[in-house]
Chain A
Amino acid sequence: MREEKLFAKYKEDVFRTSYYMLQDYQEAEDLTQDVFIKAFAQEYWEIEHQRAWLLRITVNLCLNHLKRKRRIVLMDSFVKWAVQLVEPRKVEQQIEEMEQKSEIHDLLQLLPIKIRGVIILKYLHQLKNEEIARVLHIPVGTVKSRTNKGLHILRQYIELDTYRELVLCEEIEGGVRG
């Protein structure tokens, strides 16, 4: 079956892209299914670059999904804050939640969604600028500028994080000496 082959070949690419874009495991699973349902409804066997085509569907669906979701994000933040105000979480619980998320997950969260898409296509899927431009239907110059902006944000964060670690190490050492 052609559908099954297509699914088997690209399921991981589609899922990873969805996960890193949406930052939510359950939503990424649902969206992966949506991507393939949408792909099967079209004449996919005639598509020359199926991977790029599927990634385009994935990124577009992610953007649409986040656009819809954005409307309720602020409210979610307030709910979480309000609940926390009356029911503070335990420190262990907070640490456990932090440990479950990887460093790349945290870093991607810092990026605006359009820049995040470019960074994922470039460094996860290792697409060239021209390929990314074709996938996202944007000029190559925009790909380059989004990449630069993304790297700039990541660099700032990584440097700040390194600085924090240094300060923490110094404090610990100071504590041990003291």
Chain B
Amino acid sequence: MNDLERRVERLFQNDALELPDFDRMWKSINPTGALKRRTIVRGSLHFVIASLLIAIIFFGWNTEQGIQIRQKLASFIIESNNTLGESIDAQAEKIVNQHVTRLKMEVQALKLQLEREIKSLDQQLSMIQVVKDLPTKKDYILLLSNYLPEGAYIQSYVHINDYLWYNEGRVNQYTSLFAAKYSRSSSEKLVQKLDEINVKKFEVANYEVYYLTDDNFHYLVWNQAIDGQLATYAVGTSLENGFTVDEMKKVVEAYID
């Protein structure tokens, strides 16, 4: 092991990572506690039966006390068995019902998510077409989206690596047009702030579109509600050799339509 390896190992060992509340975690992993309760019930049952058997041995099999205890033991076993059986059946049914309900909810959620993704994908695909149709100075177009199919995303990512470098959330060396969509609670906050600091805005297809710029890049940002879901959309490009504001407006207009 060389110095570097020892250093990495030491960093792991010396990292004062605060551990979570594992008790709480265990409770949520084992929400029914069914196994534990069943173990306790079974343990108690074994103890009672063992005690009664010892008492029979002590008093004798055919003595008056022995016969009484044998009768008690028999009825106890029958009752306990019924109770335990019912209890386990009830618990099993409850657990199964819980799982079925949860699965139904998950399926429903997945269905909704899938529908949303398909809708979003349709929008993104139409947007790609719009962007491709534009008179472009570049021979490549990047489209960043969280809902593109896996293959398309990876392809974009490789491409991005050549021209873009994401560092602490800031875009550097940006030379091409990109379009982005994100849906976050920050949508309203962002636009609110833009209004507060009086950012320049245009009206495109009846939407208020904000114009953001710094030394290297400029962006058009707008909020749009689709099917009652508010999302923020952005189109951006480099100032120096990217698209003009009017060209970006065309993208926005086509996308909103």
Contacts and interface: CB of A to CB of B under 8 A. Distances in A.
A80 interface: yes
A33 B146 CA distance: 27
A53 to B, nearest CB: 17
A176 interface: no
B190 A158 contact: no
B29 A37 contact: yes
Given A71-B153, A107-B8, A83 B22 contact: no
Interface residues of A, number: 46
Q: Is the interface of A mostly helix, strand, loop or mixed?
A: helix
A74 interface: yes
Interface string A60-85: 00000000000110111111111111
7 contacts: A7-B26, A15-B20, A77-B166, A78-B180, A80-B169, A82-B219, A104-B12
Interface of B: 4-5, 7-9, 11-12, 15-17, 19-20, 22, 25-26, 28-30, 35-36, 39, 144-148, 153, 166, 169-171, 180-182, 184, 186, 189-190, 193-194, 197, 199, 212, 214, 219, 221, 232, 234
Interface of A: 1, 3-4, 7, 11-12, 15-16, 19, 25, 28-29, 32-33, 36-37, 40, 71-72, 74-87, 102-105, 107, 119, 123-124, 126, 151, 154-155, 158
Given A15-B19, A40-B29, 4 more contacts: A75-B145, A79-B232, A86-B194, A119-B8
